[in-house]
């Protein structure tokens, strides 16, 4: 079937286009150049959450018919998930600037091949729903990445406990189950991906599934609410015990994706480095309690407004210690941004990572910009400097590349962020949004 990057006026029934030329934000340009600038001033519109939309897209394989998803960010990861859905048999169309229409046929092919899975780690989220829908599924095993090892053992163990027979051979996870049966599952760790995969399998299982020590991220609540709208019964949403009653009757829905709290955190970090006063439209304060508290301790002023969050930074921020933790803790995705922020702050701050073993390559890049940072084990020790100096640097993942770009806002001279395609994977028009706030970021 087809995927299109069509301009908004093209409807679902119009001819389909697979060419990226219709989506200017998917340009292949790989370098973003940050020129030293002044304060950030004005409003920025926060896009839909990457980590929510990808799972909602996976959930569309659970029911036949037409889904309409709005507030979809125009990011490359969405395109990769759309390619995967097309491979499975769905028809995916941009039916508006930020709206996707997904038509799921009654017959789908429950296979996620290696070449697409390696582009998008979140493709593991298809395993649960495809198995539940088709009684079998094959998903290539995603490899590790710059975060260090990314095992999926909890996903597989939970699906086995629901009755699946799973084999991993030649790099492919094969799962089979004539039917899944609800049971009580206790997760070793509140894994986001495992919780989501179990949820999407359990909605079609026979009987009741209880997930203990479930992850509580807002994106999981968004997925659970989507599944409930599709006809599933899910209770305990937002808590660490989720209870799911399985059903054979699921239907397609229209819904909007929640705003991206990590995009909000990214703009707050940029504000902390550049200074200024901004309004983050659509940002939800309730998803950012700990981030707001930590930035408040650093002396950034943040408060909820009627349509988002207002934030002001009129001084050099004070260094603090921060630990990343599962939600509602400070998100691990914010770690590179916090390190970039602390590199400019007054004093010494220690950032402790509690989720992923890797994720340090960006530190050496910040050091190239003159930052004073050391790391040992899971700790990063940052001695703030008044000014960093612009340099060519390499981003190796979405948040690392965004953090380097943010660091460049407070550096003397030009910072060239290579690997800008990582930013496009997770941020809709990041450079354009920063420029609208007064920054000078140029694509080369
Ligand atoms: C998701 C997010 C990612 C975020 C992370 C933690 C998406 C697409 N990605 O990733 O941006 O940084 O949550 O908030 O939503 N683990 C295992 N075995 C498993 C599964 C996980 O040991 O089967 C471990 C991981 O190695 C890690 C921890 O559990 O140490 C948390 O991982 P998890 O919450 O599953 O992260 P992801 O869902 O991969």
Q: Which of 192, 221, 291, 330 to mutate to test the pocket of ligand 1 (most atoms within 8 A of CB)?
A: 192
**According to the model, what pLDDT value does residue 148 have?**
64
**According to the model, what pLDDT value does residue 98 have?**
96
Q: How far apart are CA 418 and CA 115, in angstroms?
A: 24
Query: How far is ligand 1, taken at its centre, from the CA of residue 154, in Å?
Result: 10
Contacts of residue 182, defined as CB under 8 A and 6 or more positions apart, other chains included, come to: 162, 202, 205, 206, 207, 208, 209, 210, 244, 245, 246
Q: How far apart are CA 166 and CA 174, in angstroms?
A: 6
Nearest atom, ligand 1, residue 122 CA: 8
With CA atoms as reference, report the closest residue to 230 among 199, 198, 192, 197: 199
From atom 11 of ligand 1, which residue's Cα is the shortest distance away?
333
Nearest atom, ligand 1, residue 332 CA: 12
From atom 1 of ligand 1, which residue's Cα is the shortest distance away?
192
Evaluate whether 140 touches 171 at the Cβ level (below 8 Å). yes
Structural domain spans, the chain: 25-47+259-443, 50-247
Task: Quote the pTM value.
Answer: 0.93
Q: Residues 5, 145, 397, 424: which is the catalytic one?
A: 145
Q: How far apart are CA 330 and CA 298, in angstroms?
A: 14
**Hunting for tokens 């699946």 — which residue is that?**
164
Query: How far is ligand 1, taken at its centre, from the CA of residue 139, in Å?
Result: 17
CATH architecture, domain 50-247: Alpha-beta prism (3.65)
Q: How far apart are CA 243 and CA 230, in angstroms?
A: 16
Q: Which fold does the domain 25-47+259-443 belong to in CATH?
A: UDP-n-acetylglucosamine1-carboxyvinyl-transferase; Chain (3.65.10)
Residue 115: CB atoms within 10 A of its CB come to: 9
Q: How far apart are CA 266 and CA 248, in angstroms?
A: 41
From atom 26 of ligand 1, which residue's Cα is the shortest distance away?
150
Query: pLDDT tens per residue, the chain (444 residues)?
Result: 445 544 333 333 332 323 333 343 444 458 999 998 889 999 999 999 999 999 999 999 999 999 999 999 999 999 999 999 999 999 999 999 999 999 999 999 999 989 999 889 899 999 999 999 999 999 998 865 666 667 899 999 999 999 999 999 998 999 999 999 999 999 999 999 999 999 999 999 999 999 999 999 999 999 999 999 999 999 999 999 999 999 999 999 999 999 999 999 999 999 999 999 999 999 999 999 999 999 999 999 999 998 999 999 999 999 999 999 999 999 999 999 999 999 999 999 999 999 887 668 899 999 999 999 999 989 999 999 999 999 999 999 999 999 999 999 999 999 999 999 999 999 999 999 999 999 999 998
Contacts of residue 278, defined as CB under 8 A and 6 or more positions apart, other chains included, come to: 40, 41, 42, 43, 44, 267, 271, 310, 311, 312, 437
> Would residue 289 show up in a list of annotated catalytic residues for this protein?
no
Give ligand 1 pocket residues (Cβ under 6 A). Answer: 51, 54, 122, 150-155, 189, 191-194, 215, 331-333, 355-356
Burial 404-443 (b: 16+ CB within 10 A, else e): bbbbbbbbeebbbbbbbbbbbbbbbbbbebbeebebebee
Residue 386: CB atoms within 10 A of its CB come to: 9
Q: Do domains 25-47+259-443 and 50-247 have the same CATH topology?
A: yes
CA dist list (Å): 249 to 62, 212, 233:
10, 25, 11
Query: How far is ligand 1, taken at its centre, from the CA of residue 390, in Å?
Result: 33
Query: How far is ligand 1, taken at its centre, from the CA of residue 37, in Å?
Result: 36
């Amino acid at each position: 079937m087809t995927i299109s990057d069509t301009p908004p006026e093209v409807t679902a029934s119009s001819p389909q286009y697979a060419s990226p030329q219709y989506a200017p934000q998917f340009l292949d340009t790989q370098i973003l150049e940050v020129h030293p600038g002044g304060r950030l001033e004005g409003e920025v519109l926060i896009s839909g959450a990457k980590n929510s939309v990808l799972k909602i897209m996976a959930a569309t394989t659970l029911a036949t018919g037409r889904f309409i998803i709005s507030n979809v960010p125009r990011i490359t990861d969405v395109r990769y998930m759309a390619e995967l859905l097309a491979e499975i048999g769905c028809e995916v169309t941009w039916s508006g600037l930020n709206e996707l229409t997904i038509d799921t046929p009654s017959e789908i092919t429950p296979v996620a091949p290696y070449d697409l899975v390696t582009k998008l780690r979140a493709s593991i989220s298809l395993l649960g729903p495809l198995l539940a829908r088709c009684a079998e599924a094959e998903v290539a095993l995603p490899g590790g990445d710059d975060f260090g090892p990314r095992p999926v053992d909890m996903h597989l163990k939970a699906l086995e406990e629901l009755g699946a027979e799973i084999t991993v051979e030649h790099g492919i996870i094969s799962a089979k189950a004539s039917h899944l049966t609800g049971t009580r599952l206790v997760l070793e760790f509140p894994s986001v991906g495992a919780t989501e995969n179990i949820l999407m399998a359990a909605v079609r299982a026979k009987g009741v599934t209880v997930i203990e020590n479930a992850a509580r991220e807002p994106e999981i609540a968004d997925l659970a609410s989507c599944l409930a709208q599709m006809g599933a019964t899910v209770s305990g949403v937002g808590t660490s015990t989720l209870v799911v009653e399985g059903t054979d009757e699921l239907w397609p829905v229209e819904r909007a994706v929640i705003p991206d709290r990590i995009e909000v955190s990214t703009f707050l970090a940029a504000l902390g480095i550049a200074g200024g006063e901004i309004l983050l439209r659509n940002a939800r304060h309730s998803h950012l309690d700990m981030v707001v508290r930590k930035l408040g301790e650093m002396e950034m002023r943040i408060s909820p407004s009627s349509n988002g969050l207002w934030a002001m930074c009129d001084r050099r921020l004070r260094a603090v210690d921060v630990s990343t933790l599962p939600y509602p803790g400070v998100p691990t995705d914010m770690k590179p941004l916090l390190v970039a922020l602390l590199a400019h702050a007054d004093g010494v701050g220690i950032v402790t990572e509690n989720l992923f073993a890797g994720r340090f390559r960006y530190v050496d890049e910040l050091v190239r910009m003159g930052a004073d940072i050391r790391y040992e084990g899971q700790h990063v020790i940052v001695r703030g400097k008044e000014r960093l100096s612009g340099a060519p640097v390499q981003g190796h993942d979405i948040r690392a590349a965004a953090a380097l770009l943010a660091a460049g806002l407070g550096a003397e001279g030009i910072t060239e962020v290579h690997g800008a395609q990582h930013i496009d994977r997770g941020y809709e028009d990041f450079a354009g949004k920063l420029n609208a706030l007064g920054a000078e970021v140029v694509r080369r």
